[in-house]
Amino acid sequence: MIELKNISKSFGKHNVINNVSAIFEKGKVNFIIGRSGSGKSVLTKCTVGLLEPDEGHVFYDGRDFTAMNRRQRKEIRKEIGMLFQGGALFDSMTVEENIKFPLKMFSDMDDEAMSSRVADCLTRVELEGHGDKYPGELSGGMQKRVGIARAISMNPKYLFCDEPNSGLDPQTAIVIDNLIVDITREYGMTTVVVSHDMNSVIEASDTIHFIHEGEIAFKGDNAEMMVSDSETLNDFIYASKLMRKLRDKAK
């Protein structure tokens, strides 16, 4: 479980995150949704410590991450896997080396164990046989999947995915959503997914946090979201005609 308590973050005068509190539960896929520029990525980066929040605390299973020094944080970082919005694969390494990198750095596996672990991860993301390619030789969707494979290679307790399926075709997007749900359940991970793709939200979410102008404007699950009377949330969900039609039919 990850708990955010009163997180605030500004850049200069621009107040991006304003007093956000949230709980991301273990074994569940917790979604952060909101419009582009609403502060989802900044909130995620504050949570994992890539940005320092101006105020507030982040707790990983009760451990106050914000108060820790670099060395103490390292222990928690080993338990975190993250998929970045742009993939963030090391472009000087092959796919296999990318996935192996955290293992080499932090596990005490021997070479054979590492290789079989890499093969497992590649199979999970349906990329068997692509281990020797460089990131530059992969399509955007494949890069995302390698990003996931690298994020899960250390069997993380906490998994963060920033826009796991933006820029993917609907079919691949579903494959990725399912993959995230499966591994979350299988390993009992605390998963946080940042997204503005309503399909994923409906398909894959257990809990939903809707961010609007740096504040949490709605918390709940799928069913609650659909019937919420928050205007900003409704504008967000029912932005497309199709969604509005579906809602009217449901009513």
Ligand X SMILES: Nc1ncnc2c1ncn2[C@@H]1O[C@H](COP(=O)(O)OP(=O)(O)OP(=O)(O)O)[C@@H](O)[C@H]1O
* Residues near ligand X, by CB under 6 A: 11, 16, 34, 36-42, 85, 196
- Give the torsion through C-alpha atoms of 66, 70, 72, 78, to 10 deg: 100
Site string for other proteins, 19-48 (x = CB under 8 A): --------------------------x--x
Tell me how many residues contact other proteins (CB under 8 A).
28
Whole-angstrom distance, CA of residue 207 vs CA of residue 222:
7
Tell me how many residues contact Mg ion (CB under 5 A).
1
Is residue 89 a contact point for other proteins (CB under 8 A)? yes
Q: From other proteins, Mg ion, ligand X, none, which one binds at residue 196 (CB under 5 to 8 Å depending on kind)?
A: ligand X
Compute the least distance from the CB of residue 11 to ligand X, in Å: 3
- Specify burial of residue 44 (Cβ count, 10 A radius: 0-12, 13-18, 19+): buried
Which of 61, 63, 64, 106 contacts other proteins by CB under 8 A? 106
Whole-angstrom distance, CA of residue 31 vs CA of residue 205:
6
Nearer to ligand X, 21 or 107 (CB): 21
Is residue 73 a contact point for other proteins (CB under 8 A)? yes
Nearer to ligand X, 42 or 83 (CB): 42
- Give the torsion through C-alpha atoms of 122, 181, 49, 52, to 10 deg: 140
3-class secondary-structure state, position 120 = helix
Sheet hosting strand 14-24, strand order edge to edge:
14-24, 2-11, 55-60, 63-64
- Determine the residue type at 127: L
Residues that bind other proteins (CB under 8 A): 45, 48-50, 73-75, 77-78, 80, 82, 84-92, 101-102, 104-108, 110
